[in-house]
Copies of this chain bind each other. A is one copy, B any other.
Amino acid sequence: MKEVSKLMGYRPEIKVLDATLRDGGLVNDFRFTDEFIKDLYKANVKAGVDYMELGYRASKEMFDVDKFGKLKFCDEDYLRELFGDNNTPLKLGIMADVGRCDYQNDIINKSDSAIDLVRVATYIHQMPAALHMIEDAANKGYEVTCNIMAVSNAKESEIKIALDLLGQSPVDVIYLVDSYGSLYPEEIARLSYTYMEAADKYGKQIGIHAHNNQQLAFANTIEAVGDGVNWLDATYAEMGRGAGNCGMELLLGFLRNPKFNVYPVIQFIEKHIDNIKQDGAKWGYDLQYLMTGMLNQHPRTAIAFTKDNRHDYAEFYTEVVAQD
């Protein structure tokens, strides 16, 4: 059982990362207004959030710039327009997916860049490419994190090898990622233990990125906090792919460090979230996400179910069970 005192005190090492634009961008193809982005930035500064993930730096060879909002690509010029020199304690980050970005050309040196942090996202079988991206970003002067996605489908032995490889790389933070929203807190506890062992051995930090398919994104995040995980991803109003993420409003309500303040988060949600939903962005817990989460499947079928405005949940259940 965790100590009572831990719920009363706080760990100054904890970093909160706002992933609203990046994970949320997946549900509206990054079509955010500049007002939305700037208000979110201000809210994060006021709320004491440590990092703000802005979007991807996707390859323009692979993705059509006309089909997405600007944060799919996060051009340096556009970021300067939005944030100037960012003279705040809030650090800015982008995600770079293995195999979907031209990092060697598109990620410039940090000294010339508007961003501070590069987040490399990889499946476990893509580790060699991920390590190359991590070295590239670290050599260019960035803080670097690595998300090993979909670990609920990986073997413990593979995870340990990946952690050893990352431990020997220049990455700063290794993320435990529940891409399918299928992990229970007990499993998070066990995985956190494995990740923390590697972190202690190699002097790295561990982060957590949770999904809400089973209404466990917040619970899994605070389980990880109790296990020693220091980097915590959250999004405003849980905005994110499929069932969404751990709510920033829930997380800041839990953390005891007086530097965090939930009120600007509430103000932002009141002003913007209903509007963006009316514009067609859909996310959040619903039965279809529970089903794919429960069965440890990629949420793509549930996302299609949502997009098609289907409500035949029972039929969908027979479909996903058949795919199992």
A residues near B (Cβ < 8 Å) are 1-2, 4, 6-7, 184-187, 189-190, 193, 212, 214-220, 222-223, 226, 247, 249-250, 253-254, 262-263, 266-267, 269-270, 274, 287, 290-291, 294, 311-314, 317
Contacts and interface: CB of A to CB of B under 8 A. Distances in A.
Contact of A266 (B6, B187, B269, B317): B317
Contacts of A193: 1
A311 B222 contact: no
Interface of A is mostly: helix
Contacts of A189: 1-2
B216 A218 contact: yes
A184 B314 contact: no
Give the number of copies in the complex. 2
B270 A312 contact: yes
11 contacts: A6-B186, A184-B222, A184-B254, A214-B254, A215-B247, A216-B219, A249-B290, A250-B290, A254-B294, A263-B317, A266-B287
Contacts of A212: 215
A314 B266 contact: yes
Contacts of A226: 186
A120 B312 CA distance: 38
Nearest to A222: B184
A274 B216 CA distance: 23
Contacts of A254: 184, 214, 294
B190 A4 contact: yes
Contacts of A269: 287, 313
A185 B222 contact: yes
B190 A290 contact: no
B214 A2 contact: no
